[in-house]
Amino acid sequence: MTDAPMIGGVRRHWTEIPGGLRRRIEADLGAPVAEAVTQPGGFSPGVAARLLLADGRRAFVKAVGPTPNPDSPDLHRSEARIARLLPADAPVPRLLASYGVDGWVALTFEDIDGHLPAQPWRAHELDLVLAAMTDLAESLTPSTVDVPTYADRHAAAFTGWRTIVADGALADRIDDWSRRHLDTLAELEATWEPLSAGTTLLHADLRADNILLTDDRVVFVDWPWACTGAPWLDLLGMLPSVAMHGGPDPETVFGTHPLSAAAPPEAVTAVLAAAAGFFIGNGILPPPPGLPMIREFQLAQGRVALDWLRVRTGWR
């Protein structure tokens, strides 16, 4: 799928951060900001910018206020807490500082001189990312970071099929295959939590816009959803977005990837059903405040996840 919705939200500019907070950031960075270049990707209705300082050094800043989406500041707070705890040798940007002022939350990181993977995906870039994901999982097992489990992190969210069963009006908005198998999908979805257990520190939101490619490494950014679970979960979660942006068939990639070698087939199918229910169940809802594009993106991922689930279940 190369005509899929692109990743992105409504970004704000560096100059929209309250003046007092901007001055604090500049003071801590040690020089005024000479240039701020807003970065693409992501859904946060906030600032995400590479900064060029007056003395020639660089940094990255992300910041969000209490409007238009009141939940976004909490995500930045979570990311700040987790970023401080990530291992020093992990392929992630180093957190410089975090701030909370008048409902605004801002984080500064070291600047990574890299670029997002091309969309549609290019085969050689995808190969680099898939190999780096193996190394990432190995280096972060067992986790040394105090974060929720994957099951705890997603318990409320991965109930899409059961929510649709409980609300007959929602069932009218889903496709015929899902409607025919709705009760069975809900039953399968209900089994996923214990099957996701593991000790690997997971990113839990890997997509192209959370990955940077440099000349010599792959860097994984934006960790507010970090949790612990089975090492194959990040791979499973990322593949629907890869396929919808021109990448290969998820079942083929997953089945040949090292991280899937020890993945119980029933566990993979159950978590995939839960993820598909999350994407479909949210994709048919109105968009939340300040995130106008997220439902279209979720629905597109859900359709790919459903195609993958049909293959794994064999249901007609």
Dump pLDDT digits (tens) for 213-250.
Answer: 999 999 999 999 999 999 999 999 999 999 999 999 99
| pLDDT category of residue 42 using cuts at 50, 70 and 90 | confident
Q: What is the pLDDT of residue 6?
A: 55
pLDDT over threshold 90, residue 41: no
Domains identified in the chain and CATH numbers: 14-109 (3.30.200.20), 123-313 (3.90.1200.10)
| pLDDT category of residue 311 using cuts at 50, 70 and 90 | very high
Distance from CA of residue 168 to its chain's centroid?
30
| pLDDT category of residue 5 using cuts at 50, 70 and 90 | low
The predicted-structure confidence for 87-141, as pLDDT tens digits, reads as follows: 999 999 999 999 999 999 999 999 999 999 999 999 999 999 999 999 999 999 9
d(CA 202, CA 172): 35
d(CA 206, CA 185): 24
CB 168 within 8 A of CB 183: no
pLDDT over threshold 90, residue 10: no
